[in-house]
Amino acid sequence: MQHLIETQQFDREALNRVFEIATSYESKRDESLRGKILASLFFEPSTRTRLSFESAMLRLGGNVLSMENASESSSATKGETIEDTIRIVDNYSDAIVMRHPEAGAAARAATVSEVPIINGGDGAGQHPTQAFLDLYTIAREIGRTDDFHVAFVGDLKYGRAARSLAYLLGKYDKVRMTFVSAPALKMKDDIKEYLNESNVRFDETEDIKRAMEIADVVYQTRVQKERFPSQEEYLKFKGAYVIDRSMVDHMKKGAILIHPLPRAGEIAPEVDDSPHAVYFKQAGYGVLVRMALLKTLLGEGKKTIRAYRRRK
């Protein structure tokens, strides 16, 4: 069974094939997944991931069963386990995209599902399809996936999107990373150990202005209120790294500013019409990438994805 749980399942060649498919779907729809059903099972609120997956499935001629507030469903409130929920839902669908606040939840689902599980984000764990669309955005906007400098800014401790992209970029050549955050929100050691093993250069700083001046890609992230143990802890960091127009105007020519969205004040509105700001285009690219992934999982390209093996 082909599940999409983590970025590690893709190598460069496989990602290139997915990106080629994604580009081929620009301004295009087809009926190749007619008769297929995607179950959209979200135990945590989502706008972009859920709607872009549903849009992608519909653009491929398929159908969607959607549950946005799965944590409030009768089954969840009665104490049903993730495993039992998946055993039920896989009777109704050909694939399941799932978001859950618990890291590792998608892996648990994959152990029992009879249909492909797609990880739509699991707590502070991974968000592989976000990483793929982020990389696709970089490829489209700066024209390369090797030999560039990316600055990750904000909540790097809890931010699954930044973690997933940092892991993915470890597969590419001459990528340099700068992690910009408060000490309490630093990138976790597991990612840094992986980057060291992969011979990826990185440094850490609290100086956002300098990082933005030298980076080819600035990846801003939201300080995630829902991940903090208390409101007081969250308020310590909210607003710590806000990007305004003057900062963006000092970015290198051709450099881009991206964000997984939603933003919560960390990018000022006056930045939106800067040529460096591509975060709304990035969200649009998400539909193309997810069309390509659904086509790969449910269509002819299943062998593109390495089989998921749960770690012991």
Q: Which among 78, 253, 311, 312 is annotated as catalytic? A: 78
Rounded to whole angstroms, how far apart are CA atoms 270 and 217? Answer: 19
> pLDDT for 275-290, tens place per residue?
999 999 999 999 999 9
Tell me: do 116 and 155 sit in the same domain.
Answer: no
Mean pLDDT of 196-216: 96
Phi-psi region of 183 (alpha: psi -120 to 50; beta: other; left: phi over 0): alpha
Asked if residue 312 belongs to a domain, the reply is no
Specify the pLDDT at position 312. 37
Is the pLDDT confidence value at 236 over 70?
A: no
Task: Sort strands 117-122 and 148-153 into parallel, antiparallel or unpaired.
Answer: unpaired
Q: What is the CA radius of gyration of the chain?
A: 19
Q: Is 50 a catalytic residue?
A: no
Domain count, the chain: 2
Query: Confidence band (pLDDT; 50, 70, 90) for 1?
Result: very low
Distances (CA, A) of 65 to 51, 80, 96, 166, 195: 12, 19, 9, 32, 39
Rounded to whole angstroms, how far apart are CA atoms 123 and 226? Answer: 10
Task: Sort strands 217-220 and 63-67 into parallel, antiparallel or unpaired.
Answer: unpaired
- The single-letter code of the amino acid at 183 is P
Tell me: do 82 and 180 sit in the same domain.
Answer: no
Return binding residues for carbamoyl phosphate: 48-49, 99, 127, 130, 261-262
Q: Is 306 a catalytic residue?
A: no
Query: Confidence band (pLDDT; 50, 70, 90) for 20?
Result: very high
Query: Confidence band (pLDDT; 50, 70, 90) for 67?
Result: confident
Specify the pLDDT at position 285. 97
For residue 64 the two structure tokens come to 């969607």
Query: Confidence band (pLDDT; 50, 70, 90) for 175?
Result: very high
Is the pLDDT confidence value at 83 over 90?
A: yes
**Going by C-beta distance under 8 Å and a sequence separation of 6 or more, which residues neighbour residue 48?**
260, 261, 262, 283, 286
Tell me: do 75 and 158 sit in the same domain.
Answer: no
Tell me: do 238 and 142 sit in the same domain.
Answer: yes
Tell me: do 41 and 82 sit in the same domain.
Answer: yes
Rounded to whole angstroms, how far apart are CA atoms 137 and 119? Answer: 20
Tell me: do 158 and 186 sit in the same domain.
Answer: yes
**DSSP letter (8 states) at residue 187:** P
Specify the pLDDT at position 300. 60
Q: Is the peptide bond before 262 cis (omega within 30 degrees of 0)?
A: yes
Query: Confidence band (pLDDT; 50, 70, 90) for 301?
Result: low
Residue 89 maps to which CATH number?
Answer: 3.40.50.1370
Specify the pLDDT at position 184. 84
Return binding residues for L-aspartate: 78, 160, 222
Structural domain containing residue 30: 7-126+285-304
| Secondary structure E strands in 193-311 | 201-205, 217-220, 256-258
Phi-psi region of 154 (alpha: psi -120 to 50; beta: other; left: phi over 0): left
Return binding residues: 48-49, 78, 99, 127, 130, 160, 222, 261-262
Q: Which among 99, 108, 149, 290 is annotated as catalytic? A: 99
Packing angle, helices 189-197 and 160-169, rounded to 10: 10
Specify the pLDDT at position 158. 81
Cβ–Cβ < 8 Å for 18, 131: no
Beta bridge partners of 38: 64, 95
Packing angle, helices 160-169 and 128-142, rounded to 10: 60
Q: Is 49 a catalytic residue?
A: yes
Distances (CA, A) of 55 to 21, 26, 43, 71, 96: 16, 13, 19, 23, 14
Tell me: do 272 and 290 sit in the same domain.
Answer: no
Return mean pLDDT, the chain. 89
Tell me: do 292 and 269 sit in the same domain.
Answer: no
Tell me: do 167 and 109 sit in the same domain.
Answer: no
Q: Which among 48, 176, 238, 281 is annotated as catalytic? A: 48
**DSSP letter (8 states) at residue 91:** T
Is the pLDDT confidence value at 101 over 80?
A: yes
Q: Which range is least confidently modeled, 82-96, 116-130, 131-145?
A: 116-130
Beta bridge partners of 150: 177, 217
Q: Is 78 a catalytic residue?
A: yes
Q: Which among 3, 36, 49, 59 is annotated as catalytic? A: 49
Mean pLDDT of 290-301: 87
Q: Which among 3, 127, 140, 149 is annotated as catalytic? A: 127
Specify the pLDDT at position 231. 64
Asked if residue 181 belongs to a domain, the reply is yes
Q: Is 263 a catalytic residue?
A: no
Asked if residue 310 belongs to a domain, the reply is no
Tell me: do 218 and 250 sit in the same domain.
Answer: yes
Tell me: do 134 and 112 sit in the same domain.
Answer: no
Query: Confidence band (pLDDT; 50, 70, 90) for 310?
Result: low
